[in-house]
Homo-oligomer: A and B are copies of this chain.
Amino acid sequence: LFVALTLAQLAEEIGAEFAGDAQGKTSVGDVRITGAATLEDATACHVSFLFNSRYQKQLKTTRAGAVIVGRDVQCDRLNLLKTGDPKLAFAKAVIALHGYRRHGHAGAHPGAFVDKTATIGEGTILYPGVNVAARTRIGRDCILYPNVVIYEDCVVGDRVIIHAGASIGHDGFGFATSKGIHHKIPQIGNVVLGDDVEVGPNTTIARAALGSTVIGNGTKIDALAAIGHGVNIGPHGLVVSQVGIAGSTTIGHHATFGGQVGVVGHLEIGNHVTVAAQAAIVNDVQDGEILMGSPSMPIAHGRRVHVLFTKLPELLDRIRDLERRLAELTQKR
């Protein structure tokens, strides 16, 4: 695959407006874009992008053939492709120029282990070392990378991507402790992954003790997350790496959980909830809340708390000063 697009073709492909002939040196027809690159690495044949203001200064130095930007960005020295959603436009550009990974084989690789009672949809690719246990059903056009393990009776939707080493449907951490001995409770539920779910490498999603652990359509989970038994995450969530969600917690749609967030079990968390990295959620959360901190707080309050936390020595000094002045005042009387 080798693709070369003029700026006009690229602009049309990604739904952007070509903002013109930088410094009069180029015309639309002159530039041929053959790849995408960062502002730092790009050369004349690359399209780049700006959607994090942290990198704005690189507009002055980049050698990119074109840059995808928001509508308000100005830069005379560059060919700009302007759009209301530069990140989406950039995604489209990368798809147009590079496409997604191409696989060396179709269907289940001979090095994958698929139980004879499991079913795999058309177009689904299983890499070597994948293990699909009894009665598990996998939909169409999924990709299971090497060494993914799916235990029995699970259900995987269509277009699901599971990265290397993820474990889906192992036993939840369920024990009945009696006289100091932990007795294993059979975990007779399963895991249901909706359509268009992506699961990061070495992430673990436990089967429910009873019923199902559910990941809703379109939810994306990063690497090394631990999803407990009976958790239900609604559609279109983003769960960043190393998040841990304890058993039986229910989360609405469009959740965003930053890295290393911890969530205790048996909570009800609403829709459109956003949680900053490393926070600890220990109570139910209403729709739309934005939280941070351990324990978590609404973000505006949490930011004040974190600033004051780092200023505790100064607070102590002010208390000491008050004590000294009050003692003086009392003595004088």
User: Which chain A residues have a beta carbon within 8 Å of chain B's beta carbons?
Assistant: 35-38, 41, 52, 54, 85, 87-88, 90-91, 94-95, 98-101, 104, 109, 111, 113, 115, 127-129, 131, 133-134, 145-147, 149, 151-152, 161, 163-165, 167, 170-171, 173, 175-178, 180-186, 188, 198, 200-202, 204, 206, 209-211, 218, 220, 222-224, 226, 228, 236, 238, 240-242, 244, 246, 254, 259-260, 262, 264, 266, 277-278, 280, 293-295, 297, 301, 304-306, 308-310, 312-313, 315-316, 318-319, 322-323, 325-326, 329-330, 332-333
| Min C-beta distance of A317 to chain B, whole Å | 10
| Partner pick for A146 among B149, B224, B228, CB 8 A cutoff | B149
| Partner pick for A241 among B41, B228, B308, CB 8 A cutoff | B228
Question: How long is the Cα–Cα vector from A182 to B219 in the complex, in angstroms?
Answer: 8
Tell me if B41 and A211 are in contact (CB < 8 A): yes
Chain B residues with CB under 8 Å of A163's CB are 167, 170-171
Given A181-B218, A254-B180, CB of A315 within 8 Å of CB of B318: no
Given A91-B185, A178-B85, A305-B310, CB of A326 within 8 Å of CB of B325: yes
Question: How long is the Cα–Cα vector from A260 to B263 in the complex, in angstroms?
Answer: 10
Tell me if A312 and B318 are in contact (CB < 8 A): no
